[in-house]
Every structure is written in C-alpha cells, then in structure tokens.
C-alpha cells in the first residue's frame, strides 16, 4: 500500500466501535450540523455524511430525527452537569473558591466552543424542543440552581454581608447565560476571557471583598 492509500485509510472513521462510542460519534456530528444548519434544518442524512457513515447506521442507532435530537440535548446537558459539578468538587471547602470554580467552569474550552454554543442556542430558540428540555434536563437545572444558591448563601455568611442568595444566584446565572448569548450571536464578539471577566465583575458587585474581575481573591486567578 502506498503513502496515499495510508493517508486515505487514516481519514476513514474506524469501522468497529462499541455501540456507545458509535452513538457518541453520531451525537458529536449532530452538534456540528445543528451549529451549521440550525435545529429545524438538521437531517439524518447531513449527520451521516458529516460522520462519514451511512444513513442506515444513523437510523439503526436513533431510528428518527426526533430521537437523535433528544439524545443530543441530553448529551449536552449531562456534559454541562459533569463539568460544573466536577469543578466545584475539586475547588475545596472555601465558598469563594467554589463560586469561582462554578462560574469559571462555563468557560471551560471543552464545553465553551462555537459549535456547542451554537447548538445550545438552537435548542433554546426552538419552541418544540422546550418540553423535551424540561423533561430531560429540568433536574439538572434545579441541581445547578441549588448548588449556586447554597454557595452564595455560604459566602454571604462568611463575609458577614446581607442579601438574598437565591436572587444573587439568579443574577449570576443570567449574566453567564447573557455572555454566552453574546459569544454566540454578536457579529464581532468579545473573547471568552472578557466574557469570564464580565461574570466575575458581577460577582464582585455582590462580594467585593472576596472577588475581583479576575476571580476569587483567594485563588490568585491569573490575568
């Protein structure tokens, strides 16, 4: 076999993958297609072509477009849940460090990518996906909100400040969602670093002794 044949073989997707690995391959392809074409215009044919697989194989694993989109949404939601929960588990016991980790997790390069942001935007903007989102992802949202509210409450207690932890958590959450939307929709978006500093500036307004626009004071967050 010559060098050209070797390169051609390397570009082909592996023929034998486990069922879960193949499903993940197709879901990743779906994320890319949703990002390019939007929710409504995504087709099984587009996904198969992007993955380098047959339309029949996509049908074998997911049966319908609706099931594929549902599994893709669940995959993104679980990825997001693992990302923030792992971050706060590794942050240590200090409330400021935990809040820093939770907010910073939204800008993890593995989840804060143009394709994933665009896919999230497509799901959020599609009315027919909202009941599906509530059914499959509502518990994740509730867990996120509880964790954020608890950390804000602990930080209020530690700093001796007054405030409503539920409301503070809500403001931080919508600020993060807002800069995500900016990164997704602005024709000339600012950087992820600037987006993260915007969120930390919001945290500084509530916890001026514990945060700066660079993050939690105790973490020594780099510029």
If pLDDT is split at 50, 70 and 90, which confidence band does 55 have? confident
Task: Please give the radius of gyration of the chain, using alpha carbons only, rounded to the nearest integer.
Answer: 20
Residue 14 lies in a domain: no
Secondary structure E strands in the chain? 211-212, 215-216
Residue 115 lies in a domain: yes
Residue with tokens 């919508």: 174
pLDDT tens readout for residues 95-132:
999 999 999 999 999 999 999 999 998 888 776 667 77
Global confidence as pTM: 0.83
**Token digits of residue 54:** 């047959």
User: Across the strands, what pairs with 212?
Assistant: 215
d(CA 125, CA 127): 6
Residue 90 lies in a domain: yes
Residue 11 lies in a domain: no
φ and ψ of 103, to 5 deg: -70, -40
Number of domains in the chain: 1
Residue 87 lies in a domain: yes
What crossing angle do the helices spanning 114-125 and 19-37 adopt, rounded to 10°? 70
CB 172 within 8 A of CB 164: no
Residue 174 lies in a domain: yes
Residue with tokens 């879960």: 20
Residue 196 lies in a domain: yes
CATH number of the domain where residue 162 is located: 1.10.357.10
pLDDT at residue 220 is higher than 50? no
Three-state secondary structure call for residue 211: strand
pLDDT at residue 80 is higher than 50? yes
In terms of residue numbers, what domain contains 107? 72-219
Residue 1 lies in a domain: no
């Amino acid at each position: 076999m010559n060098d050209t044949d070797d390169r051609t073989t390397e570009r082909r997707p592996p023929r034998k993958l486990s069922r879960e690995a193949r499903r993940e391959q197709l879901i990743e392809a779906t994320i890319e297609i949703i990002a390019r074409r939007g929710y409504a215009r995504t087709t099984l044919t587009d996904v198969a072509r992007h993955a380098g697989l047959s339309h029949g194989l996509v049908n074998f694993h997911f049966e319908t477009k609706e099931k594929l989109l549902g599994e893709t949404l669940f995959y993104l939601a679980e990825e997001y849940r693992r990302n923030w929960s792992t971050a706060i588990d590794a942050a240590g016991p200090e409330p400021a460090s935990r809040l820093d980790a939770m907010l910073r997790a939204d800008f993890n390069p593995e989840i804060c990518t143009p394709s994933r942001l665009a896919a999230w935007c497509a799901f959020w903007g599609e009315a027919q996906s909202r009941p599906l989102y509530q059914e499959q992802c509502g518990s994740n949202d509730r867990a996120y909100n509880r964790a954020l509210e608890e950390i804000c409450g602990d930080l209020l207690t530690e700093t001796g400040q007054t405030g409503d932890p539920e409301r503070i958590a809500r403001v931080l959450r919508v600020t993060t969602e807002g800069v995500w939307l900016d990164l997704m929709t602005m024709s000339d978006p600012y950087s992820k670093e600037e987006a993260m500093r915007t969120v930390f500036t919001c945290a500084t307004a509530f916890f001026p002794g514990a945060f700066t626009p660079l993050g939690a004071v105790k973490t020594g967050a780099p510029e």
